[in-house]
Amino acid sequence: MPIPQVVWFKRDLRTQDHTALQAALSQGATLALYVLEPHLWEQPTASLRHWQLLREAVGNLAIELQRAGGELCVRVGAIEQVLSELHLQFGSFHLHAHEETGEAWTYARDQRVAQWCSQHGVQFSEHRNFGVFRGLKDRDGWARRWRSHMQAHVAPVTQPNWLSAVSTADWQTWQPRVSGEPITITPGLDPQRQLDDFLQHRGERYHLEMSSPNTAPTACSRLSTLLATGRLSMRQVVQQTWATQAQVKSLAPEQKGTWPRALAAFQSRLHWHCHFIQKFESEPAIESQNMARSCDGLRENDFNEGHFEAWCKGETGFPFVDACMRYLNATGWINFRMRAMLVSFASYDLWLHWRRPALHLARLFADYEPGIHFSQTQMQSGTTGINTLRIYNPIKQSTDQDPDGHFIRTWVPELAGLSAPMIHTPWLATQLEQIAAGCRIGQDYPAPIVDHAVASRSARAKFSAVRASAAGKTDRNSIVARHGSRKGGSRR
């Protein structure tokens, strides 16, 4: 007689293209389980906005399972305790879950689960979620593996056979102890509809409009929170993108518009998503330490608390930087280029070691994905040892991405009385211009807390010295071998 199957949902809150669920249902009667883990919500990256999205996603998963004839068992507590309770109810069972490339706490948690299963005679099967592969020593053949994974057939859930178990009585009213400002979320947002809307309508100017915070909210896919909570699988998005590219290719030239370039740019970002998570999977220590250890001590001891606080609040005296931070504080999302600029400004202009800014941004990003977040933060802060330093000029970004100052006026209303180009550099306004605009620099809005030109020159010089050192060169060679992109298929 087949033993009971248990599917442990984590950051994969869907029924479509759920490899662990499909495997369980193919082997016998299945229990769908989600565990609200109090200790998970005590981690320094957790925030109220994450809880808002998680609660919404769990509710939607319960609805999906009900439509398939099943139900979601939700328990509150440590996963080992929950598994022990199920063991008393079912006896031996087969536990299924997706592999998770998460923080150190979730990795240790998963190791404890594997140990518990071994001790209690429970089979534990982990299934691949993204195009990310465990145990890789280098990137040779990674792109080929990624494509093979994305091409695999997405099988629907058919003829389900469900088990049930009682949920923790108060799980729907349970609240973690998390801080932060709430954000507005759209209840019942349909992931498939969101994907269709982007690939059929909004995405045509993706490659042209994704860089400016004025146009990015519409031009970007806005799928990141759905991918981070697992309401959409990456394979679903990739396969539908490929199908759309094929449809566009069949059109007459005059019908294609800008779709070919837009879809190509988007498809490359999907590949990029897994590329960065693979870095984190292969070297999880980058959550807390420099990828290039030759950078150790470079700026850890120079942390300026006042500068950090000003950056967090959007009060640095650089209007575009402050507008972006305030927008992120309010909404939980901002486009990629502006994320990179915020990290660049913290890292090079303010000379802040990346770890605390990374934790702060993790709490703000509603779409926080650990593998992308820590890999990207280190790349943008210069501590990967291999990537070109990207020191964003906040004034140039302001004039390029918000030439009329519309975004600045919306999010830094103190400066609304200034017209372009003065709004980009309000500290250059005369006293009479400041009075006329109703904003006195240093009183109603801060003067710049650093000189960008001086700070960027100093940062470049310090990093150049590190990278030219013997330790820097050794780091570069080893990091390229382990993490470098293999555009030609394999390293020669």
Average pLDDT over residues 50-65: 96
Give mean pLDDT, residues 261-279: 96
| Torsion on CA atoms 405, 408, 413, 417, rounded to nearest 10 | -20
CA distance 265 to 398: 23
Q: For residue 30, what pLDDT band results from cuts at 50, 70 and 90? A: very high
Q: Which residue has the tokens 């100093």?
A: 458
Dihedral angle, C-alpha 209, 211, 217, 223, nearest 10 °: 100
Residue from 287, 267, 476, 266 nearest 388 by CA: 476
How far apart (Å, rounded) are the C-alpha atoms in residues 380 and 322?
Answer: 18
pLDDT of residue 230: 97
Q: How confident is the model at residue 100 (pLDDT cuts 50, 70, 90)?
A: very high
**pLDDT of res. 489:** 45
Model confidence at 492: pLDDT above 60: no
With cut-offs at 50, 70 and 90, classify the pLDDT of residue 99.
very high
Cα–Cα distance measured from residue 291 to residue 450, given in angstroms and rounded to the nearest whole number: 27
Q: Report d(CA 333, CA 339) in Å as an integer.
A: 9
Backbone angles phi, psi at 416, to 5 degrees: -60, -25
Amino acid at 3: I
Q: Which range, of 70-84, 96-110, 145-159, 302-316, averages the lowest pLDDT? A: 145-159
- Contact residues for 484 (Cβ-Cβ < 8 A; gap 6+): 139, 386, 491
pLDDT of residue 487: 56
How far apart CA 43 and CA 35 sit, in angstroms, is 16
The pTM (predicted TM-score) of the whole model is: 0.96
**Stretch 21-40: mean pLDDT, rounded?**
96
Residue among 479, 427, 227 at smallest CA distance from 322: 427
Which pLDDT value is given to residue 137? 85
Q: Is the pLDDT of residue 490 over 90?
A: no
